Chains A and B, each alone.
Chain A
Amino acid sequence: MAGTMKRDYSLVGESARRAIETGLASAEWYHTDVPRKAMKELMQRSDGPAIRDTIIWIVAILGSAAGGIYFWGTWWCVPFFFAYGVLYGSSSDSRWHECGHGTAFRTRWMNDVVYQIASFMLMRNPVTWRWSHARHHTDTIIVGRDAEIAVMRPPDLLRAALAFTGILDFRYSLPALVRQAFGKLSPDEKSYVPEMEQHKAVTAARWHIAIYIATIALALTMRSWVPLVLIGLPRLYGTWHMVLTGLLQHIGLADNVIDHRLNSRTVYMNPISRFIYWNMNFHVEHHMFPMVPYHALPRLHELIKHDLPEPNPSMWHAYREVWPVLLRQLRYEDYFLKRELPPTARPYRGEFHDVNMAAE
Chain B
Amino acid sequence: MADWVEACAVDDVEDEDVIRFDHGGRTFAIYRSPGDEFFATDGFCTHEQAHLADGLVMDDIIECPKHNGRFNYKTGQAKGAPVCVNLRTYPVKVEAGKVMIQI
Chains A and B belong together in one complex: yes
Q: Is A309 an interface residue (CB 8 A)?
A: no
Q: Is A103 an interface residue (CB 8 A)?
A: yes
- In angstroms, Cα B84 to Cα A127, docked, is 13
Q: Does the CB pair B84–A291 fall under 8 Å?
A: no
Number of interface residues of A (CB under 8 A): 22
Q: Which of B18-53 contact A (CB under 8 A)?
A: 47-49
Select the stretch in B4-12, B61-69, B86-94, B95-103 that faces chain A: B61-69
Q: Does the CB pair B49–A40 fall under 8 Å?
A: no
Distance in Å from the Cβ of A295 to the closest Cβ of chain B?
15
Q: Does the CB pair A43–B49 fall under 8 Å?
A: no
Known: A26-B48, A43-B56. A131 touches B68 (CB 8 A): no
Please name all residues of chain B whose beta carbon is closer than 8 Å to the beta carbon of A194 when the two chains form the complex: 84
Please name all residues of chain A whose beta carbon is closer than 8 Å to the beta carbon of B58 when the two chains form the complex: 45, 106
Please name all residues of chain A whose beta carbon is closer than 8 Å to the beta carbon of B84 when the two chains form the complex: 194, 196-197
Q: Does the CB pair A291–B55 fall under 8 Å?
A: yes
Q: Does the CB pair A130–B68 fall under 8 Å?
A: no
Please name all residues of chain B whose beta carbon is closer than 8 Å to the beta carbon of A291 when the two chains form the complex: 55-56, 63, 65, 68
Q: Does the CB pair B68–A127 fall under 8 Å?
A: no
- In angstroms, Cα B47 to Cα A289, docked, is 17
Q: Does the CB pair A137–B56 fall under 8 Å?
A: no
Distance in Å from the Cβ of A339 to the closest Cβ of chain B?
23
Q: Is A160 an interface residue (CB 8 A)?
A: no
Q: Does the CB pair B68–A290 fall under 8 Å?
A: yes
Q: Which of A117-147 contact B (CB under 8 A)?
A: 127, 130-131, 134, 137-138
Please name all residues of chain B whose beta carbon is closer than 8 Å to the beta carbon of A127 when the two chains form the complex: 81
Q: Does the CB pair A138–B56 fall under 8 Å?
A: no
Give me 14 A-to-B residue pairs in the complex whose CB atoms sit less than 8 angstroms apart, sorted by A's number. Answer: A40-B17, A40-B56, A44-B56, A45-B56, A102-B68, A102-B70, A130-B82, A137-B67, A138-B48, A138-B67, A194-B84, A197-B81, A291-B56, A291-B65
Please name all residues of chain A whose beta carbon is closer than 8 Å to the beta carbon of B70 when the two chains form the complex: 102, 108
Distance in Å from the Cβ of B49 to the closest Cβ of chain A?
7
Closest residue of chain B to A39, judged by CB? B54
A97-118 interface code vs B (CB 8 A; 1 in, 0 out)? 0000111001010000000000
Please name all residues of chain A whose beta carbon is closer than 8 Å to the beta carbon of B56 when the two chains form the complex: 40, 43-45, 291
Leading 4 A-B pairs by shortest Cβ distance = A134-B82, A43-B56, A134-B67, A101-B68
Q: DSSP class of B's interface residues: helix, strand, loop or mixed?
A: loop
Distance in Å from the Cβ of A105 to the closest Cβ of chain B?
12
- In angstroms, Cα B70 to Cα A101, docked, is 10
Q: Which of A29-62 contact B (CB under 8 A)?
A: 40, 43-45
Closest residue of chain B to A42, judged by CB? B56
- In angstroms, Cα B67 to Cα A134, docked, is 6
Distance in Å from the Cβ of A290 to the closest Cβ of chain B?
6
Please name all residues of chain B whose beta carbon is closer than 8 Å to the beta carbon of A106 when the two chains form the complex: 58
Q: Does the CB pair A131–B55 fall under 8 Å?
A: no
- In angstroms, Cα B67 to Cα A131, docked, is 10
Closest residue of chain A to B65, judged by CB? A291
Q: Does the CB pair A138–B81 fall under 8 Å?
A: no
Q: A108-B79, A138-B48, A197-B81 are in contact. List 13 more A-B contacts (CB 8 A).
A: A40-B17, A101-B68, A106-B58, A131-B81, A134-B47, A134-B67, A138-B67, A197-B84, A289-B65, A290-B67, A291-B55, A291-B56, A291-B63
Q: Does the CB pair A137–B66 fall under 8 Å?
A: yes
- In angstroms, Cα B67 to Cα A196, docked, is 18
- In angstroms, Cα B48 to Cα A130, docked, is 15
Q: Does the CB pair A26–B49 fall under 8 Å?
A: yes
Partner of B82, one of A26, A45, A131: A131
- In angstroms, Cα B67 to Cα A101, docked, is 7
